[in-house]
A and B are shown apart, each in its own frame.
Chain A
Amino acid sequence: MSALVELRGVSKLFGNERAVSGLSLPVERDRVTVLIGPSGCGKSTVLRIIVGLEKADRGEILYNAQPITAASLRTVRQRIGYVIQDGGLFPHLTARENLSLQSALLAKPRSQISQRIDELCELTRLPKNALARYPLELSGGQRQRVSLMRALMLSPELLLLDEPFAALDPLVRSTLQSELKSIARQLHQTAIFVTHDLAEAARIGDTIVLMKEGRIEQAGTFRDLSEMPATKFVTEFINAQRSTLLT
């Protein structure tokens, strides 16, 4: 089966700084691909290039084996859900309004929208009474649940998550990790999940891609990386976080 998204020789420069450097990565369907690596290695930039927030200087991005063009970008975006660290929820809209914004503008019937919201509340275990609240009235965990719901509203083909749980306390974080994992399973969701936490990567990822300075150091299962590290950097990275893995 072909990859849903494929990056081919993609490079991105910020001034003289190489954020992404000749990176090629097929993102397979129905799997959660985790991008991991030290801070500044280019993980967020890869996601931003896929949704068109940054333009690659070199290389191409294929979506369903078609290159993404300026004309197709908006429709591609509507098939992608994107969740960022602090949620990116609009503070002037209630949780429910945040969730229905996109569907309402696409003229989806009201009943269908609220049915979808009900489904997602169950899936993410968001209490229904939280829907009437504004983002500033929600807890951090609830905000991330709503962000995830917003990304899932249109049943996206691809879900992009950029450290969605980084700001949460460990207990909530751990709950959300297992929930996300089971949601991905249930929905057969293709997703790219960015983190710099190896324990999180191991729990959520089907494929783990370890990056360093804009390049892929090694890609495979967690087992591949820990038992057959391709480079010295892979060994070091895994050893440095091994203690957290035991907890």
Chain B
Amino acid sequence: MKLFPRSVRRGIRVLLFSAISACPAVNSLHAANPIVVGSKKFTESYVLAEIAKRALENAGVKAEHRQGMGGTIILWQALRGGGIDVYPEYTGTITEEILKKPGASTDEIRRSLDTQGIGMTPDLGFNNTYALVMRRDIAAKLGIKTISDLRAHPELKFGLTHEFLDRRDGWRPLSTRYGLKNTRVLGIEHSLGYASLANGDIDVKDAYSTDAKIAQYNLVTLRDDWLFFPQYKAVLLFRKSLPQRAIKALNQLAGTISEARMIQLNAEAEHTKDYARAAQLYFGGHESSGGETFPHKLWRWTSRHLELTGISLALAVLIGVPLGILASRGGALGHVILGGSGAIQTIPSLALLALLVPVPFFGISARTAIAALFLYSLLPIVRNTASGLQDIPRPLRESAVVLGLTSRQRLQKIYLPLASRSILAGIKTSAVINIGTATLAALIGAGGLGEPIISGLNLNDHATILEGAIPAALLALLVQALFDFLDRVLIPRGLRLRRQ
């Protein structure tokens, strides 16, 4: 007669809390941790992080690599907040973006970082500066060799990464310095940009000078003839609280990677789609890969994906249904609840993740992903609960009142069961949306099926993208089927008769 018998409800509660406290990601900040090496979302960062991880392991320190967590700000915040312990960075980025002290010397950098408890290794041996690149054939035809040559061609179309567009040493100051008048400038994801260059959608894009794709796509680097770009020497940033042994192992990497070596490692990583293997190449190892098998990886991604969506959905049900009940009573409170959960929905999911990352409790962790997914799941549940309750015909409401049931009895025995179809439909909508949105969790290193999607995007490798996209789509279908089954169990039979 009830929507959920008391025992089931208690069971759900117990399960939920034990699931949260057992969830390794949620607890990862408290556990006795391995050293966490983070990386940005591009091949070279992955490879350097992998090399750092190996170096730590070789020194007998437990380490793990959290891949492709985001851009500079996210990694820097994570390092300061202790979400990660090490990540590869470039001196130019440190002066321009992090410390905002353009032209600072290495000593000045070191001193500034020191005050924040962050250490920096000597440079690893190569300068990966920003560069503008074009297709070799087009550059030859137009006679463009340097960035200043671009001034004669304001019709060229630029496809620049979002980061480059926003940087203090990025597009705006560059175009001012060189007096570039190009108006056709659009923001495009780094790896996709190469494909766009190849098919002629754009003519010029930003790249890193050690990018293996420059050779692969037969591109030319335009010479920075007015020396606009600062030096981008690769270094590792680390928390000074790390054990001495670990710091020593990182420092030993200094000066060991030349520009040519880095291009080779990048090419290896992109060719084999395996960062670990590229790192192994650095350490002189061959084959012996030691990587996970695909079924194992798939299981790891899928179970994490389910963990993220399951916990966030359960929280959304526990909070959303009561909010929906309050909202169904209308009035100012109802407006605030429906308006508030509606407003959350309008924040782009990426922006919501980015907003949560700097918040102390959250940071780079599964918690952030769960919180964001939870917030997204609220609206369909709140709205469907409220409308399901409001749509109960007046005679039925009044019958319950006239029978002298208390308001609690009316809600439990009459109103919620009558609204169960609508409430479950809301939960189903949230669940299916959640499965899709959870792929973004990989952006902040929370794992899940987004992991292969994002590394595939970085490698411009469709097969890898599909390794995440297909299971995610299947999972959504499966969840849909599960809820169709739950409909039959949870919606009272008397209400389902209407359908026949």
Contact A77 B418 (CB under 8 A): no
Contacts of B492 in A (CB 8 A): 92-93
Contacts A88-B396, A92-B417, A105-B409 given: A80-B402 contact, CB under 8 Å?
yes
Contact B402 A135 (CB under 8 A): no
What 0/1 pattern do residues 284 to 313 of B give for CB contact below 8 A with A?
A: 000000000000000000000000000000
Shortest B395–chain A CB gap in Å is: 5
CB of A206 within 8 A of chain B?
Answer: no
Bound-state CA distance A136–B402 (Å) is: 22
Interface of chain B residues 446 through 500 with chain A (CB within 8 A): 492-495, 497-498
CB of A78 within 8 A of chain B?
Answer: yes
Interface of B is mostly: helix
Contacts of A183 in B (CB 8 A): none
Shortest A218–chain B CB gap in Å is: 29
Q: A84-B395, A101-B413 are in contact. List 19 more A-B contacts (CB 8 A).
A: A53-B401, A53-B402, A74-B404, A74-B406, A77-B403, A80-B402, A82-B399, A86-B395, A88-B395, A88-B396, A88-B399, A90-B414, A90-B418, A92-B417, A93-B494, A97-B1, A101-B403, A102-B405, A134-B494
Of the residues A105, A136, A150, contact of B498 by C-beta under 8 Å: A136
Contact B413 A91 (CB under 8 A): no
Bound-state CA distance A89–B417 (Å) is: 14
- A94 (CB) vs chain B CBs: closest residue: B494
Bound-state CA distance A191–B497 (Å) is: 34
Shortest A153–chain B CB gap in Å is: 9
Contacts of B395 in A (CB 8 A): 84, 86, 88
Contacts A92-B418, A136-B494, A136-B498 given: A105-B399 contact, CB under 8 Å?
no
CB of B398 within 8 A of chain A?
Answer: yes
CB of A51 within 8 A of chain B?
Answer: yes
Interface size class of A (residues with CB under 8 A): 20 to 34
Bound-state CA distance A137–B403 (Å) is: 23
Interface of chain A residues 100 through 117 with chain B (CB within 8 A): 101-102, 105
Bound-state CA distance A104–B1 (Å) is: 12
Bound-state CA distance A234–B401 (Å) is: 36
Shortest B175–chain A CB gap in Å is: 67
Contacts of A80 in B (CB 8 A): 402
Contacts of A51 in B (CB 8 A): 402
18 contacts between A and B (CB under 8 A): A53-B398, A53-B401, A74-B406, A75-B404, A82-B402, A84-B395, A88-B395, A90-B400, A90-B414, A91-B494, A92-B420, A92-B495, A94-B494, A101-B403, A101-B405, A105-B413, A135-B494, A136-B498
Bound-state CA distance A90–B100 (Å) is: 68
- A92 (CB) vs chain B CBs: closest residue: B492
Bound-state CA distance A220–B324 (Å) is: 51
Bound-state CA distance A161–B409 (Å) is: 24
Contact A102 B404 (CB under 8 A): yes
Interface of chain B residues 377 through 402 with chain A (CB within 8 A): 395-396, 398-402
Contacts of A88 in B (CB 8 A): 395-396, 398-399
Kindly name the residue among B399, B405, B409, B497 whose own CB sees the greatest number of chain A CB atoms within 10 A.
B399
- B400 (CB) vs chain A CBs: closest residue: A90
Nearest first, the 3 A-B pairs at minimum CB distance are A88-B399, A134-B494, A92-B492
Contacts of A84 in B (CB 8 A): 395, 398-399
What 0/1 pattern do residues 397 to 429 of B give for CB contact below 8 A with A?
A: 011111111100100011001101000000000
Shortest A151–chain B CB gap in Å is: 9
Contact A134 B497 (CB under 8 A): yes
Contacts A53-B398, A136-B497 given: A91-B418 contact, CB under 8 Å?
yes
Contacts of A53 in B (CB 8 A): 398, 401-402
- A85 (CB) vs chain B CBs: closest residue: B395
Bound-state CA distance A148–B406 (Å) is: 22
Bound-state CA distance A89–B403 (Å) is: 11
Contacts A92-B492, A102-B403 given: A137-B1 contact, CB under 8 Å?
no
Contact B402 A137 (CB under 8 A): no
Kindly name the residue among A90, A93, A94 whose own CB sees the greatest number of chain B CB atoms within 10 A.
A90
Bound-state CA distance A88–B398 (Å) is: 8
Kindly name the residue among B413, B493, B494, B498 whose own CB sees the greatest number of chain A CB atoms within 10 A.
B494
Shortest A86–chain B CB gap in Å is: 6
What 0/1 pattern do residues 4 to 41 of A give for CB contact below 8 A with B?
A: 00000000000000000000000000000000000000
Bound-state CA distance A84–B497 (Å) is: 22
Bound-state CA distance A93–B415 (Å) is: 12
Contacts of B404 in A (CB 8 A): 74-75, 77-78, 102
Shortest B394–chain A CB gap in Å is: 10
What 0/1 pattern do residues 188 to 215 of A give for CB contact below 8 A with B?
A: 0000000000000000000000000000
Contact A77 B497 (CB under 8 A): no
Bound-state CA distance A129–B407 (Å) is: 32
Contacts of A136 in B (CB 8 A): 494, 497-498
Contact A92 B494 (CB under 8 A): yes
Shortest B113–chain A CB gap in Å is: 65
Contacts of B402 in A (CB 8 A): 51, 53, 77, 80, 82
